[in-house]
Chains A and B, each alone.
Chain A
Amino acid sequence: MSAIDIDGPIPQRLSFSRLRPNHQIAWDSTSLGALKRCPRYYYYNIVQGYSSRSESPHLRFGIEYNDALVEYHKARAEGVAYEPAVERAVLYALAHTWDAKLGRPWTSDEPTKTRESLIRAVVWYLDQYADDPLETIVLATGAPAVELSFRIELELHSGLTGEPYVLCGYLDRQVSFVHQLWFTDRKTTKSALDERYFSQYSPNNQVSQYTFAGAVISHKPIAGLIIEAVQVGVTFARFQRSNITRTAAQLEEWHKDAEIYIRQNEAYVAADYWPQNDTSCQQYGGCPFLSICGTTPSIRQQHLDALFARRIWDPLVVREI
């Protein structure tokens, strides 16, 4: 997945139709989740690419944390011993949070998501799981099964263009745990890692999509998805893992629902109109486009351009780590 800043017309995106530019063909969990949340939110955020002008410290922290741990797993798969691999991960995080142009460290306005708390979380995680019961699968190429990109062609074609729909995304890590195959997904949060926190993952669009995709790309049943959560505080980090499973019937239900949503999107594309779901405006901590939808339609575009930046989300563009 990749976000690209733009200033002007939207360029052709790999995940969108070549025939109808606003018609998404390849769906990752972010874009499908956005459509499920609210068609108008999906239109503003995914189709038009409007997002906050300022960088989200939560998003940045999550990416840097994930990438540092990927660096650790790569090092281990190369045969590097534990301690040098930890050093490599920490050095990676330090380097990627240093602004070379300004000659200063990355600064964040969120007290729990800082460069210091990032280094702390990486060191504490690798300390806690030094003897990790989750064994990273090593692929036939010798590379560790981390940051696995998947593209799964659905048996569903666009009724507008005939193009085959695709599910796509990244799986953090494929592991063996108690002789079973699992995938893991890292989450960073300020919340306590209790039963209530983990209950949000059943049902959950992303977990279901990853479990569905994991089974397809593994060519065999998988046990499920392990959520590797870290609670990040100003002075501490706590870790908790939780195994989330789906039955075959649950995955089939998710698949069926996904196809209905994707098919429904065709109607929006055809009408060039994505309706508001005005019952979700206050959900998810409040929609970022609340102030836009709260104004009269004739002035919304002006407000969008004034208040938001354009950052195109294209899930088929490969991330480089």
Chain B
Amino acid sequence: MSDTPPNPLAPEVSPLTEADPDSINKLIAERINAIMNTAPLDLSIEGDDSDLRVLIAYHRRERARFIIESQNKAASPRAPGRKKVPTSVADAMVANADLV
């Protein structure tokens, strides 16, 4: 543990730019949970970052993740015709920056 006090002049670090994927996923989970526990009449529905669009985007991301995982699961040595989804493509498909 460092004894150095925090530098008050240091630029504030955004939790999303520096956070690890687990933290981002936690933030997403919290937002989705809040949306699902909000009365529908109180949900924001206009704009790209509205509750409704974020909820839909979240489920689309989860679908992309599911498709990739299913395809990778099927790409076993016993199924040589099936190819794994490249990691870079998978990352792009499940990009989550617009969800939080």
A→B interface (CB under 8 Å): 86-87, 90-91, 94-95, 98, 100, 103-105, 115-116, 119-120, 123-124, 127, 235-236
- B55 lies within 8 A of A90 (CB): yes
Q: Are B56 and A103 in contact (CB under 8 A)?
A: no
The answer to whether B62 has its CB under 8 Å from any CB of chain A is yes
Which residues from A are CB-within-8-Å of B66?
235-236
Binds A, one of B18-26, B35-43, B90-98: B35-43
Interface residues of B in 5-20 (CB under 8 A from A): none
User: B62: which A residues are within 8 A, CB to CB?
Assistant: 120, 235
Question: Are A90 and B36 interface neighbours, CB within 8 A?
Answer: no
Are B40 and A94 closer than 8 Å at their CB atoms? yes
Counting from the closest, the 6 A-B pairs by CB-CB distance are A123-B59, A95-B40, A94-B40, A124-B63, A236-B66, A120-B59
**B46-76 vs A: 1/0 string, CB under 8 Å?**
0000001101100110110010000000000
Measured CB to CB, the closest approach of chain B to A178, in angstroms, equals 26
Bound-state Cα–Cα, A98 to B56, Å: 17
The smallest C-beta distance from A85 to any residue of chain B, in angstroms, reads 12
A163 to B30, CA, bound (A): 60
Q: Does B85 contact A (CB under 8 A)?
A: no
A123–B63 contact, CB under 8 A? yes
A290 to chain B, nearest CB (A): 37
Chain B residues near A123: list those with CB within 8 A: 56, 59-60, 63
Bound complex: CA A103 to CA B52 (Å): 19
Nearest Cβ on chain A to B72's Cβ, whole angstroms:
14
**Are A119 and B45 in contact, with the CB atoms below 8 A?**
no
Known: A87-B45, A91-B45, A236-B66. A119 touches B55 (CB 8 A): yes
Contacts of A98 in B (CB 8 A): 39-40
Chain B positions within 8 Å of A87 at CB level: 45, 52-53, 56
Pairs A–B under 8 Å by Cβ, sample size 15: A86-B56, A87-B45, A87-B56, A90-B55, A90-B56, A94-B43, A95-B41, A105-B36, A115-B36, A116-B36, A119-B36, A120-B59, A123-B59, A124-B59, A127-B60
Determine how close the nearest CB of chain B comes to the CB of A112; give it in whole angstroms.
15
Inter-chain CA distance A90–B51, complex, in Å, is: 11
| Given A103-B39, A123-B56, A124-B59, 19 additional A-B pairs, CB 8 A | A87-B45, A87-B53, A90-B52, A90-B55, A90-B56, A91-B43, A91-B52, A94-B40, A94-B43, A98-B39, A98-B40, A115-B36, A119-B36, A119-B55, A120-B59, A120-B62, A123-B59, A123-B63, A235-B62
Complex Cα–Cα for A235 and B62 (A): 9
Pair B40/A104 contact, Cβ less than 8 Å: no
Among A94, A98, A116, A120: residue with most chain B CB under 10 A: A94
CA A87 – CA B41 in complex, angstroms?
14
How far, in whole Å, are A90 and B53 apart by their CA atoms in the complex?
10
Please report the C-alpha to C-alpha distance between residue A130 and residue B12 in the assembled complex, in whole angstroms. 42
Cα distance A120–B43 when bound, in Å? Answer: 18
Partner of A127, one of B39, B41, B63: B63
Question: If A90-B52, A123-B56, A123-B59 touch, does A104 touch B36 (CB 8 Å cutoff)?
Answer: no
- Which interface residue of A103, A104, A115, A124 has the most chain B CB atoms within 10 A? A124
Complex: chain B residue closest to A92, CB-CB: B40
Specify which chain A residues have a CB less than 8 angstroms from the CB of B56 in the assembled complex.
86-87, 90, 123
Bound complex: CA A86 to CA B63 (Å): 15
B59 contacts A91, CB within 8 Å? no
Most chain-B Cβ atoms within 10 A of its Cβ — which of A86, A90, A95, A115?
A: A90
Cα distance, A104 to B41, chains bound together (Å): 12
Give the distance to chain A from B56, nearest Cβ to Cβ, in Å: 6
